[in-house]
Amino acid sequence: MSLLLPGTAVGLKTRDGVVLATDKRVTYDGFVLSKQAKKVYMITGRTGVAFAGLLGDVGYLTKLLKLESKYYELKVGRDIKTRSLAKVLSLVLYNYKLFPMFTEIIVGGYDEEGASLFILDPVGSLIEEKYAAVGSGAQLALGYIEPKYREDLTLEEAEKIAVEAIKTVIERDVLSGDGVDLVVITREGYTEKSHLFKTTPEK
């Protein structure tokens, strides 16, 4: 199945944590519906998800994951691990395989196993990666990230690469645009940041 899912999301894993980033544009049938959409979310205090695709499916899956993680916390007494949350999401997506969600997802976080990063397609295929990009600008983003990625990257370097990768996509992909939202996740918790870009010159 080949889908051109609007928007771009990237993720990078380092020894000290994970960076997740997305663009801010929402498009449908060639029209820009929003320039301020949020497509990266924290599910627990140390696990987040970044999406590319239809915003309705993004909202549904985000709410579902938050409910599942809260249920796990109440039942077990601790936050669900990043790997376990990714597996839950994989099962959810697979259950919709006949009418799949139009979204690709990056799951990243930090737990007792350290930093981890996973990528999922619309029907729930689950792959662990060191860095990843999904959506309409994935190839452009990976082209920027691959030559710059090292396993000894600092979080600051990974954050800069993530922002510049999205910025590179925005310059060439009409389905992505208007800025970058990102989260930096470490052992201590997470930090959310936002960057706005001008996509058209002022007259």
Answer yes or no: is pLDDT of 1 > 70. no
Query: CB–CB of 24/145 below 8 Å?
Result: no
Q: Is residue 142 part of a domain?
A: yes
pTM of the model: 0.89
Count structural domains, the chain.
1
Find the CATH number of the domain harbouring 46.
3.60.20.10
Q: Is residue 201 part of a domain?
A: no
pLDDT for 54 equals: 84
Euclidean distance between CA atoms 22 and 187, whole angstroms: 22
Q: Is residue 1 part of a domain?
A: no
Q: Is residue 3 part of a domain?
A: no
Of the residues 8, 14, 22, 27, which is catalytic? 8
Question: pLDDT class for 105, splitting at 50, 70, 90?
Answer: very high
Interval 133-170: pLDDT, tens: 998 888 999 999 999 999 899 999 999 999 999 988 88
44 is catalytic: no
Domain of residue 17 covers 8-196
User: What residues have CB less than 8 Å from 153, skipping those under 6 apart?
Assistant: 12, 14, 161
Euclidean distance between CA atoms 123 and 136, whole angstroms: 17
Q: Is residue 2 part of a domain?
A: no
**What's the chain's length in residues?**
203
Q: What percent of the chain has pLDDT over 90?
A: 64
Answer yes or no: is pLDDT of 203 > 60. no
